[in-house]
Chains A and B, each alone.
Chain A
Amino acid sequence: MEMEIPGDLGPWVVDAVRPDNMRLLAQALADPNPIHLDRDAVRQLGLGDRLINQGPANFAYVLNMLRDAVPGAEIRGLRVRLLSNVFEGERVEAAGKVVSVDEDGDERRVECQVWLDAEGGRRAIEGTATLVSAPG
């Protein structure tokens, strides 16, 4: 079955980043960094007064977006820069666009630009991704 590759990817949305999910991820990562768990620690570092979402959660949202946008394709690469923090309670939106599709023997290679925007359009992540699927 031919897999359709959309030009625009996403958006994939989290309406409000939740502190309880930061605690879950801290447990999954075995990462005791207090900026994800303790608002006083965030204040003491001069980083605001809201908990800061883990960077891996932010790029995981981009991975979720890719999996939803092109189900059945394999993610072969993700290269992202984390440009700004995402805070508890913020709405975030992961999206992307396809920049090239190349047939290479028995696979189709899809290169994409990807990003994650937080409130006010503040860009939290940007980068590129590579997907591979069966040829069209």
Chain B
Amino acid sequence: MSTAALGHLVGYRLPEGTFTITEHDNRLLSEAVETAAPDDGVAHPAFAYVATQRGVGIGIDEVFRLAECPMDDGPMLGSTDLEFAEPLRIGVAYRVRGEIVDIRRKQGARIGTFDVLTIQEELVDERDVAVAVIRNEFILPRRQD
């Protein structure tokens, strides 16, 4: 299997979904990353990652499966680019939309052949404003190639 064989994935629009950050979610995430959850209605900014991953209408494991990389192969996050128009808020029902924007074959000294899968997602509020845009590059090991 080569990147060319997966090229059809570029431009694939992930099924849309929604995500509402609850106070419970915010406390759980804040505890997991060793910080306090302030009581001001603002969610931890890492929710740009969490809310897009959970809210979009397809699981991240299924996205990796589309790219022929099951979870057992150890896909990993390689880079993240977050942009915020404003802070994320608890209780807002964000629409989540996303797209596979690139997949590229590479070689690394440590892990050998791998693909870089780039996904861009947005959290869109009730005014139709994309309040957060996230672009993630995932490293997909290709150990058998």
Contact = CB atoms under 8 A, between A and B. Distances in A.
B34 A64 contact: yes
Interface in B79-113: 79-87
Interface in A63-91: 63-64, 67, 74-82, 85
B60 interface: yes
A1 interface: no
B83 A33 contact: no
Nearest to B73: A45
A59 interface: yes
Which of A21, A64, A127 has the most chain B CB atoms closer than 10 A to its own CB? Answer: A64
A47 interface: yes
A44 to B, nearest CB: 8
Contacts of A27: 28
Given A21-B34, A74-B84, A81-B78, A32 B61 contact: yes
Given A14-B34, A25-B32, A28-B32, A74 B71 contact: no
A55 to B, nearest CB: 3
A64 B74 contact: no
B66 interface: no
B46 A59 contact: yes
Nearest to A47: B74
B80 A64 contact: no
Interface residues of A, number: 38
Contact of A75 (B25, B34, B84): B84
B29 A41 contact: no
A78 B80 contact: yes
A63 B75 CA distance: 23
A99 interface: no
B53 A64 contact: no
Given A31-B53, A56-B49, 6 more contacts: A22-B32, A31-B60, A35-B76, A60-B46, A76-B84, A79-B81
30 contacts: A14-B34, A21-B31, A22-B32, A24-B28, A25-B29, A25-B32, A25-B33, A28-B50, A29-B53, A31-B53, A31-B60, A35-B76, A45-B141, A54-B77, A55-B77, A56-B49, A59-B49, A61-B34, A64-B35, A76-B85, A78-B45, A78-B82, A79-B82, A80-B79, A80-B81, A81-B78, A82-B77, A82-B79, A85-B76, A127-B79
